[in-house]
Amino acid sequence: MENFRRSSRPKENNEFVFGIRAVIEAIKAGKDIESIYIQRGLTGDIIPELKGLIKTIDVPVHNVPVEKLNRMTLKNHQGVIAVISAITFQKIEDIIPAIYEKGETPLVLILDGITDVRNMGAIARTAACTGVHAIIVPTKNSAQINADAIKTSAGALFTIPVCRHENLHKTALFLQECGLQIVACTEKTSDLIYAPDYTVPTAIVMGAEDEGISNEIMRMANHLAKIPMFGEIGSLNVSVSTGVILYEAIRQRTNG
């Protein structure tokens, strides 16, 4: 994983690029963009060029009132602000072959709809400690990798590859084609997390605490697995749940 870690070199903070032409040039330069905010109803001669470029990258786009942009910066934003990511996003298509080439057994984490930045940071910290090769998040409906997430991760987000993909279902299918089993951690099963064999190439899917894992991924998963629960509290925080199932995977791999 060392080659990937180097490319995720730290930046001090999320930065703003504002102004239509400036955002266009940031996209052309290959900047790692976290998200783009565009004023509702914005028109102009170069807006089609901007929107055409945005379609070529996997970046969340928010159409917002001008007041939102004015709160983000007092400078002349011209109706467009891009948030530059604090990390360099990577592609899982590049990472999986490298894992196999090194003779390692892939262990990947897919986060489906987890939007809380502190949960994101805590999960990344645990993932780094358990040897997870990469974290996969969706382009939309995912926590921003901002200063809070990085602080909560204790810097782990600078060391573990984070891959952002538009369609998690297609990404999970790609992982299956690469020989990984998909294990969805959900309470909607009678099978416990101890049942799957994690010594084989594995991608573990964690869902949001309120909505859980999407039905698309649940249907194509090789295994559904739940954490045993006792007492009156019916659920765990998603970052804690992630730690529980990851350490079961590590227990099997170290005892195998």
pLDDT digits (tens, 9 = 90+) for 198-214: 999 999 999 987 888 99
Starting at the earlier edge strand, list the strands of the sheet with 33-39.
15-18, 80-84, 33-39, 61-64
| The pairing of beta strand 134-138 with beta strand 107-112 | parallel
CATH 3.40.1280.10 residue ranges of the chain are 92-255
Pairwise pLDDT comparison (73 vs 96), residue with the higher score: 96
Mean pLDDT of 30-54: 91
Per-residue pLDDT at 256 = 58
**Residues in CB range of 25: below 8 A, 6 or more apart:** none
Element of type H or E holding 159? none
Range ranked top by mean pLDDT from 18-27, 59-68, 105-114: 105-114
- What single DSSP character describes residue 76? -
Query: Alpha-carbon torsion 165, 167, 171, 172, what sign?
Result: positive
Alpha helices in the chain (DSSP H): 2-7, 20-28, 47-54, 66-72, 92-101, 117-129, 147-152, 168-177, 215-220, 238-255
3.40.50.2300, 3.40.50.300, 3.90.79.10, 3.30.1330.30: CATH of 7-84: 3.30.1330.30
- Residues 44-73: tens digit of each pLDDT: 899 999 999 998 887 889 999 999 999 988
At residue 86, does pLDDT exceed 90? no
CATH 3.30.1330.30 residue ranges of the chain are 7-84
Choose among 82, 59, 66, 84: nearest CA to 164: 59
Question: Binning pLDDT at 50, 70 and 90, where does residue 147 land?
Answer: confident
- Residues 122-131: tens digit of each pLDDT: 999 999 999 9
1.20.210.10, 3.40.50.300, 3.40.1280.10, 3.10.20.30: CATH of 92-255: 3.40.1280.10
Question: Binning pLDDT at 50, 70 and 90, where does residue 235 land?
Answer: confident
Question: Binning pLDDT at 50, 70 and 90, where does residue 144 land?
Answer: confident
Buried b / exposed e across 77-111, counting CB within 10 Å, b at 16+?
bbbbbbbbbbbbbbebeebbeebeeeeebbbbbbb
Question: Binning pLDDT at 50, 70 and 90, where does residue 7 land?
Answer: very low
